[in-house]
Copies of this chain bind each other. A is one copy, B any other.
Amino acid sequence: MDSTTTKHATVRHYIEQRIRDELSPHERLPAERMIAEDLQVNRVTVRRALEELERDGLIYRVQGSGTFVSEGRIRKSTEFTSFSEDMRSRGFEPGSMDETFTIEPAGMATGYALGVSPASPVVRLRRTRTADGRAICLEDSALPESLVPGLADGLGGLSLYTVLKDRYAIRVVRADQTIHAVVLNPAQAHALEVPEFSPALRVTRISRDAQGRPVEFAESLYRADLYAFELSVSRAPGRGQ
């Protein structure tokens, strides 16, 4: 085992593997106390692993009865993913075209979203995102210049979030997104290689670091015929209507 891995992560992986390899939906898992004894850990540690698995929808628990494998394809719960991760998980090779960096005043909307004055400079990154070489999305990203000095010199082939983490020690951990349906104007349609007035998803995103501070304000236009948003949502377990 990894020396930096926690015990509950080990337990979690062990249980995940058993679910994948041996267990069918609605089959009962060993009792918590049993798992604890088998793996020589405390029951609290087992429960912590099981809680994560329950949140992700892999298992369900019935008091007095047991813990069972959930039915249905396992979709990861709503997680923040980059365009590249997103595309790869859908089986496409992500790419970028026509990347342009500029530094300009934030303006009203962007300034408001980022919590800075409209006059303060932001780094603006515009690019066309591709999947297997096909244009799929127009992205317009703005970051406060004070947070990321020198970003406009380029990403050096890395992903924006990798650069934020490695070069600026900024970890994006949360994003507030709004998803609209729109029709494309002629210029946008041309860039995405679809007929004018085709439908598209417009996603605006405010990315935040662990402290909740806005880091990025982005607007993305996705071709409706090639892209849809997928998400799993759940009620807090143990809560009523």
Contact A182 B26 (CB under 8 A): no
For the complex, count residues of A whose C-beta is within 8 A of B. 53
A233, CB-defined interface residue at 8 Å = yes
From A60, which residue of chain B is reached at the shortest CB distance? B210
| Cβ contact of A173, chosen from B200, B213, B224, B234, cutoff 8 A | B234
A53, CB-defined interface residue at 8 Å = no
* Contacts A72-B214, A199-B181, A210-B60 given; does A233 touch B162 at CB 8 Å: no
From A233, which residue of chain B is reached at the shortest CB distance? B80
Contact B68 A211 (CB under 8 A): yes
State how many angstroms separate the Cβ of A20 from the closest Cβ of chain B: 15
How would residues 44 to 69 of chain A score, 1 for a CB under 8 Å from any chain B CB and 0 otherwise?
00000000000001001000000010
Residues of B within 8 A of A237 (CB): 173, 210
Contact B241 A165 (CB under 8 A): yes
A25, CB-defined interface residue at 8 Å = yes
| Cβ contact of A70, chosen from B72, B182, B212, cutoff 8 A | B212
A90, CB-defined interface residue at 8 Å = no
